[in-house]
Structure 1
Amino acid sequence: MKRLDMVMDVGDIPKKTKWLMLSLQHLFAMFGSTVLVPFLTGLSPSVALISSGSGTIAYLFITKGKIPAYLGSSFAFITPLIMAIGMTDAGVAGAMIGSFMAGLVYGTLALLIGAFGLDWLMRILPPIVVGPVIVVIGLGLAPTAIDMAMNVDGVYSGQHFSVAIVTLIVTIIGSLFFRGFFGLIPILIGIVIGYIYALIIGIVDTTAISESWNQIISASSAGEFFSAIFVMPEFVIPFVHYSPFAVFNWSIVAVMVPVALVTIAEHIGDQMVLSKVVGRNFIKEPGLHRSLLGDGVATLIASCLGGPPNTTYGENIGVLAITRIFSVFVIGGAAVLAILFGFIGIISDVIMSIPTPVMGGVSILLFGIIASSGLRMLIDNQVDLGNNRNLIVASVILVLGIGGALVKFTVFGVEFEIAGMALAAIIGVVLNLVLPDKEAGYGNGNMFETDQTTE
């Protein structure tokens, strides 16, 4: 049984001639967001790449190679990381302790789901809640995409916006009209053409590339050549660079750990989107407990290297939706490349030189696909938005989530906040539970029905 529009199934191994290009496409899709988090928080972008690739490989093993998901730096942890790094003299090391504890939250929830099943979770997450939350996940990222596409340090730039538009147009044309192998890599083609256009109009900074290249070609011995190619990232490893017991701080834990609830909600939404895109119920097989455990282990690995916490990436789900290539081997290839690129200086320099508007142009399409998947869930399940109860639940979720509402509270002198998608999801769940006629929220379909198959 295979979907009519599937190009490559989850367990399919691509031909060697195509494997590299397909994996590069996923690498480029996740790259902008993955390195943006360390830039904003003061962590190492190279370490972020390595921890991202390592976490993804661990995730694929834990989920038995059945979920084609890529994991990258989590935006939800940006503010907590900045706060944690500045809380004590331990700096990054102290923040990594908080990140490690947040990863343990995933493991705890995975154990609970494994022990008590999923029915209790599904009862509080009907399509009328899940669909709008997925829309929020996609549209909540819209300001980021637009800012990347047209602004330079918060100021509008028509020149930069033109780069984003060129990238977007090429990607759309490639998705609709390219055939054969080129039809499988529209995202990568869009990035390449956008990069070339940016070079032509002179907004690409190639200084770092030139310096690395000069060091390579001027190497007079094998040792110098090796040193010019490979660069050791700035790892922050427990028991090597610091003692976890010496830097442990409950205030940092209190700031970091609650954020795991935000990324867990995001994770569940991503798994539901993936289930719809791929045509399989990943919530049941290999199971949400396995995918959550994989996400948690990826964050634990990142915390032991000095990288930001990881989460499943909507950008790469967008690539899956466009290309219809669901192979975990392609995802694994992207993970290996991410690790390799974290050690190879000149390749990292080339990727780092990709202008922000190029990534912004691609993100406009990818983030929109996530939001559209939420609408599709409502349609597929025939949820009646003419019903006032359903209309109220969906409307409140959308406005709270996209509007950026937040709630702040203080516990033991530490201030916490629940904002955006997490707050919208919580309010949506509560409204669904307290309002009458709960059955209307399930619609006339099955939220996890993915029977779009043929003999």
Structure 2
Amino acid sequence: MKKQEMVMDVHDVPKWQRWIALSLQHLFAMFGSTILVPFLTGLSPAVALISSGLGTLAYLVVTKGKIPAYLGSSFAFIAPIIGASSASGPAGAMIGTFLAGLVYGGVALLIGLLGLNWLMRILPPIVVGPVIIVIGLGLASTAIDMSMYVPGLDDDVYSGTHFSVALFTLAVTIIATIFFRGFLNLIPILIGIVSGYVFALFQGIVDTSSINEQWTAIASAGSVWGAFVALFQSPDFVVPFLDYAPLDVMNGEIVLLMVPVALVTIAEHIGDQMVLSKVAGKNFLKTPGLHRSILGDGVATMIASFLGGPPNTTYGENIGVLSITRVFSVFVVGGAALFAILFGFLGIVTATISSIPSAVMGGVSILLFGIIASNGLRMLIDNQIDLSHKRNLVIASVILVIGVGGAFIQLSDNLQIAGMALSAIIGVLLNLVLPGKESGYGNGALFDDSSLSTDSHSHDHHVA
């Protein structure tokens, strides 16, 4: 296959008209996924957009402006954020998000000093793959509940109307994923949400009161300047030392909920960087270095924790945009980050997002959560993990049943190791103590030093 020519290199600056168009394209590519995570976890979508933009700008600084990657809300942390919020409120989720950022920073330091082999021993594909499957399947009931039941009621009440909206949204998203081409193929989630929203309007299940309030405030402003000011509003930030005392919220349950997930998403981050290196024809894992890239993720996640947003991660959707446009300019990515920050302060955007029915998000989630689980299976296949080997079969089986089954260890009245965290910990322990570790590495493409070449196999293990 003939290699496509690069349209714009990493440090090329486009003319402003083209700059705006290209940046908006990146914004739309990440928009659906980024707002879905806070919608599911009870956090503010506006804050998620702002923290996504600020996190991306910080990432570009940390990586010396050498990696054109956009960062958005991570799907892997949905269940841990819900658990932390249930235990300690939104502040608990933010403490957990900060801890995840610290883990990124610690791993980046160790990779810079020791290389990747130590991480390979702890998190080979035979452990990471099944844990990713658990992350996806563990959220399955959430997607179905959102799709089938009337929201806001103490008891589950089945609604055929809501389920029809969810199935319609799912169908449109699938059609966009399979049949659309070019840029439209990169935004199936956004297309599904918009289509489902319109269908839900005709079904009468959309509450547009908040949108009407915004338009009323704009219309009654009395002047052009007043209308412009009315467009903007401050999102619901959750700020440490202002809204809560971090030390009062901090507890062991939050640590056990978030830290294991951070280790798994770091493995996925490496896969994303390999794909991006392949697409751009550059070796980002060596220059500016994988340690800087992971540190950039960590800094972006810490910024999110100071504002009330979910953890950030590099987005496969935006890598897809880079692949199609062949525009690798970090200035274009930075422009998308600025637009995301702007959107977060637009009250009409926030009101529209908050009016999306849960059935619409549930329909999209049916596909997305299944894709997460399938990506775990893909990791096993891509790394050629032999499940006829009894050791591999044992590790995968135990991780899946403990994680999906919801097993937990109660350490005290307020502290337990549950579900995905427990399955990850047991998976790591089994991998370390059982003989025949080589079989768990497969072909080792995800972590092996040879993978640092841009000629290596590409593995897109993105969990948004």
TM-score (norm 2): 0.79
Contact 1:22 1:184 in 2 (8 A): no
Residue 269 of structure 1: how far off its partner (Å): 4.0
The counterpart of 2:164, out of the listed 147, 159, 162, is: 162
In the alignment, is residue 432 of structure 1 matched against residue 431 of structure 2? yes
Code of the residue aligned with 2:73 in structure 1: it is G
User: Quick one: which of 29, 35, 38 aligns to 1:31?
Assistant: 35
Does structure 2 conserve the Cα–Cα contact (< 8 Å) formed by 1:102 and 1:256?
A: no
Deviation, 1:274, is: 2.7
- 1:162 deviates by 1.4
Kindly indicate whether residue 456 of structure 2 is the aligned counterpart of residue 451 of structure 1. Answer: yes
Are 1:141 and 2:164 counterparts?
no
Contact persistence 1:134–1:269 (CA under 8 A): no
Secondary structure in 2 aligned to 1:156?
A: coil
Structure 1 Cα separation of the partners of residues 223 and 421 of structure 2: 55
Amino acid at match of 2:395: V
Q: Is the 8 A contact 1:204 1:353 kept in 2?
A: yes
Matches of 1:420 and 1:255, distance apart in 2 = 12
- CA change 1:422–1:203 in 2 (3 A) is same
Q: 1:190 to 1:212 in 2, by over 3 A?
A: same
Q: Tell me how far 1:71 sits from its aligned partner.
A: 3.2
In the alignment, the residues of structure 2 paired with residue 370 and residue 214 of structure 1 have an alpha-carbon distance, to the nearest angstrom, of 41
Q: Judge conservation of contact 2:103–2:263 (CA < 8 Å) in 1.
A: no
Alpha-carbon distance, 1:82 to partner: 4.6
* 1:338–1:322 Cα change, 3 Å: closer
Residues in 2 aligned to 1:296 and 1:145: alpha-carbon distance in whole angstroms: 28
Deviations 1:401-434 (A, max 9, x none): 2222222314xxx833222222212211211222
Cα distance in 1 for partners of 2:348, 2:138 equals 34
Q: Does residue 308 of structure 2 align to residue 310 of structure 1?
A: no
Secondary structure, aligned partner of 1:152:
coil
Q: Which amino acid aligns with 1:53?
A: G
The correspondence for 1:205, drawn from 204, 207, 215, is: 207
- Asked whether the equivalents of residues 406 and 418 of structure 2 are also in contact (C-alpha less than 8 Å), the reply is yes
For residue 261 of structure 2, the aligned residue among 234, 259, 263 is: 263
The farther-off stretch of 182-191 and 8-17 is 8-17
Number of the residue aligned with 1:225: 227
> CA-to-partner distance for each residue in 1:197-233, whole Å, 9 max, x for gaps?
1111111111111111121122212453233211123
Q: TM-score, normalised by structure 1?
A: 0.80
Q: Which shifted more, 170-179 or 441-450?
A: 441-450
Give, in whole Å, the separation in 2 of the partners of 1:286 and 1:404.
Answer: 40
Give the secondary-structure state (helix, strand or coil) at the position aligned to 1:71: strand
Give 1:124's match in structure 2, choosing from 122, 136, 143.
Answer: 122
Alignment check: 8 A CA contact 2:98 2:302 kept: yes
- Structure 2 counterpart of 1:88: none
Sort the Cα spacing of 1:102 and 1:447 in 2 relative to 1 into closer, same or farther, 3 A: closer
The 8 Å contact of residues 271 and 283 in structure 1, kept in 2 or not, is answered as: no
Query: What is the percent sequence identity of the aligned residues?
Result: 54
Contact 2:131 2:400 in 1 (8 A): yes
Indicate the residue corresponding to 1:362 in structure 2. Answer: 364
User: Contact between 2:97 and 2:305, CA under 8 Å: does it hold in 1?
Assistant: yes
Match of 2:110 in 1: 112
- Aligned partner of 2:345: which letter? F
1:406–1:418 CA contact under 8 A, matched in 2: yes
Structure 1 partner of 2:190? 188
8 A Cα contact 1:273 1:370, kept in partner: no
Whole-Å separation in 1 of the counterparts to 2:158 and 2:337 = 34
Unaligned runs of 5+ in 1: 86-90
Cα distance, 1:20 vs. partner?
A: 2.1
Compared CA separation, residues 204 and 248, structure 1 to 2 (3 A): closer
| Matching of residues 241-252 of structure 1 within 5 Å | 241=242, 247=245, 249=247, 252=250
- Distance change >3 Å, CA 434–CA 238, structure 1 → 2: closer
2:213 aligned with 1:174: no
Which digits, 9 at most, give the CA deviation of each residue in 1:10-58, with x for residues without a partner?
Answer: 959887546424422311222021243345xxxx553343223322332
2:81 maps to which residue? 77
One-letter amino acid of the structure 2 residue matched with residue 345 of structure 1: G
Equivalent-residue separation in structure 2 for 1:149 and 1:95 (angstroms) = 25
2 CA distance for matches of 1:291 and 1:211? 42
Task: Return closer, same or farther for 1:377/1:8 CA change in 2, 3 Å cut-off.
Answer: farther
C-alpha root-mean-square deviation of aligned residues, in Å?
Answer: 3.7
Q: Deviations over 1:379-420 (max 9, x none)?
A: 22222211222111111111112222222314xxx8332222
Task: Specify the SS of the correspondent of 2:123.
Answer: coil
Whole-angstrom distance in 2 between the partners of 1:65 and 1:368: 33
What letter corresponds to residue 357 of structure 1 in structure 2? A
The 2-side partners of 1:178 and 1:7 are apart by 24
Q: Secondary structure at the match of 1:213?
A: helix
Judged with a 3 Å threshold, the aligned counterparts in structure 2 of structure 1 residues 105 and 443 are, in CA distance, closer, same or farther, namely closer
Partner SS state of residue 231, structure 1: coil
Which letter maps to 1:61?
Answer: V
Number of aligned residues? 432
State whether residues 143 and 362 of structure 2, in contact with CA within 8 Å, keep that contact through their aligned partners in structure 1: yes
Aligned partners of 2:53 and 2:340 also within 8 Å: yes
Q: What is the CA-CA distance between 1:435 and the residue it aligns to?
A: 1.6
Q: Which amino acid aligns with 2:351?
A: D
Q: Output the CA distance in 2 between the equivalents of 1:207 and 1:274.
A: 41
Indicate the SS of the match to 2:414.
strand
Aligned in 2, Cα 1:33/1:340: closer, same or farther, shift over 3 Å?
A: same
Most deviating of 385-394 and 12-21 = 12-21
